[in-house]
């Protein structure tokens, strides 16, 4: 597939996807959306690919939001009838079982912040700026901002961000639990690729199971979550990679994974 709004590269077992509309601060128009869905589906389907990184082209923005120019003249009925943005979450998030990281290299605003929060975790450049400024446009988050941001940083800060539309810098974002790591901008891409390569080198079934377990923590009670965790742990003990992993530890050598 040839892409015109994103770039897709494979670095061994890591897929690097770059939002590539720097002239519009990588604003998320329908072309970006459709290509991202394709790219994530291809990543999920390719057995040689184990982890992905999503970042933005240029030094200024990860994504400055949904494309305001594309939305400006759209009639309300079209947003509703087309269930605006539902495909994004259902395809990129729900069908991607393999781990992926957002490497936020600048502005992550509105839909850009929401897209970053769909990742399994965020690594931010020290220049990154996060925000949900939709209120200033007379709307509100529509791709998970009110829900994922609140789960990530709590009610007080989420309300502050959504009601004032202010931006949060990388240091505050890390302190608040939105971001896993902050690195200098010049090191962001290499760090994200290195972390992704580390994850890609893990036993693949265990990687998927670890991701599923953590995600279930946001969806269920503690009791049910603990049961889900225990059962998945027990399922993993039936894999060849578990036998190999424990033997490799005892024999003081690196494990060799089969993904079975």
Three-state secondary structure call for residue 61: strand
Burial-class residue 29 by CB neighbours within 10 Å (0-12, 13-18, 19+).
middle
Residue 106 sits in the site that holds ligand HXC (CB under 6 A): no
Residue 56 sits in the site that holds ligand HXC (CB under 6 A): no
Residue 104 sits in the site that holds ligand HXC (CB under 6 A): no
Residue 69 sits in the site that holds ligand HXC (CB under 6 A): yes
Query: Rule CB under 6 A: which of 33-52 touch ligand HXC?
Result: none
Query: Rule CB under 6 A: which of 170-209 touch ligand HXC?
Result: none
In the set 99, 133, 203, 245, which binds ligand HXC (CB under 6 A)? 133
Any long-range contacts for 81-84 (C-beta under 8 Å, 24+ apart)?
A: 84/142
In the set 25, 125, 173, 182, which binds ligand HXC (CB under 6 A)? 25
Whether 134 is a known active-site residue: answer: yes
Q: Please, are residues 8 and 19 in contact by the beta-carbon 8 Å criterion?
A: no
Whether 177 is a known active-site residue: answer: no
Find the angle CA(18)-CA(56)-CA(103) to the nearest 5 degrees.
Answer: 95
The Cα 22–Cα 185 span in angstroms is: 16
**Which residue number, 41 or 135, has a Cβ lying nearer to ligand HXC?**
135
- Per the rule left: phi > 0, alpha: psi between -120 and 50, beta: everything else, 165 is left
The Cα 65–Cα 205 span in angstroms is: 34
Exactly one of 110, 134, 144, 192 is catalytic; which is it? 134
**Which residue number, 137 or 226, has a Cβ lying nearer to ligand HXC?**
137
Tokens 């040839």, residue located: 2
Residue 64 sits in the site that holds ligand HXC (CB under 6 A): yes
In the set 18, 33, 39, 65, which binds ligand HXC (CB under 6 A)? 65
Side by side, the strands of the sheet bearing 107-109 are: 61-63, 107-109, 129-131, 167-169
**Which residue number, 102 or 143, has a Cβ lying nearer to ligand HXC?**
143
Query: Rule CB under 6 A: which of 75-94 touch ligand HXC?
Result: 84-85
Q: Please, are residues 131 and 114 in contact by the beta-carbon 8 Å criterion?
A: no
Exactly one of 106, 112, 114, 170 is catalytic; which is it? 114
One-character DSSP codes across 121-141: EEEEETT-EEE-GGGGGT---
Stretch of residues binding ligand HXC (CB under 6 A), selected from 40-48, 93-101, 116-124, 133-141: 133-141
Query: Rule CB under 6 A: which of 137-176 touch ligand HXC?
Result: 137, 141-143
Whether 114 is a known active-site residue: answer: yes
Q: Any idea which residues carry the catalytic annotation? A: 66, 111, 114, 134
Summarize as ranges the residues that interact with ligand HXC (CB under 6 A): 24-25, 27, 64-69, 84-85, 107, 109-111, 133-134, 137, 141-143
């Amino acid at each position: 597939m040839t892409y015109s709004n994103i770039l897709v590269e494979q670095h061994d077992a890591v897929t690097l996807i770059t939002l590539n509309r720097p002239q519009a601060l990588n604003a998320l128009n329908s072309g970006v959306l459709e290509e991202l869905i394709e790219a994530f589906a291809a990543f999920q389907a390719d057995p040689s690919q184990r982890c992905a990184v999503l970042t933005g082209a240029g030094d200024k923005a990860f994504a400055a939001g949904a494309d305001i120019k594309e939305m400006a003249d759209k009639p309300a009925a079209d947003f509703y009838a087309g269930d605006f943005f539902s495909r994004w979450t259902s395809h990129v998030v729900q069908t991607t079982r393999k781990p992926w990281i957002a490497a936020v290299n600048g502005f992550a605003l509105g839909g850009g912040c929401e897209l970053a929060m769909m990742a399994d975790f965020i690594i931010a450049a020290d220049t990154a700026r996060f925000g949900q400024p939709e209120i200033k446009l007379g709307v509100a988050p529509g791709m998970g901002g009110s829900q994922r941001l609140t789960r990530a940083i709590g009610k007080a800060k989420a309300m502050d961000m959504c009601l004032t539309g202010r931006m949060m810098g990388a240091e505050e974002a890390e302190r608040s639990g939105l971001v896993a790591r902050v690195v200098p901008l010049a090191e962001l891409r290499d760090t994200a690729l290195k972390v992704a390569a580390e994850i890609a080198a893990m036993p693949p079934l265990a990687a998927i199971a670890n991701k599923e377990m953590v995600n279930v923590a946001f969806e269920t009670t503690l009791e049910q979550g603990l049961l889900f965790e225990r059962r998945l742990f027990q399922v993993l003990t039936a894999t060849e990679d578990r036998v190999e992993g424990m033997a490799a530890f005892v024999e003081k050598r690196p494990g060799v994974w089969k993904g079975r």
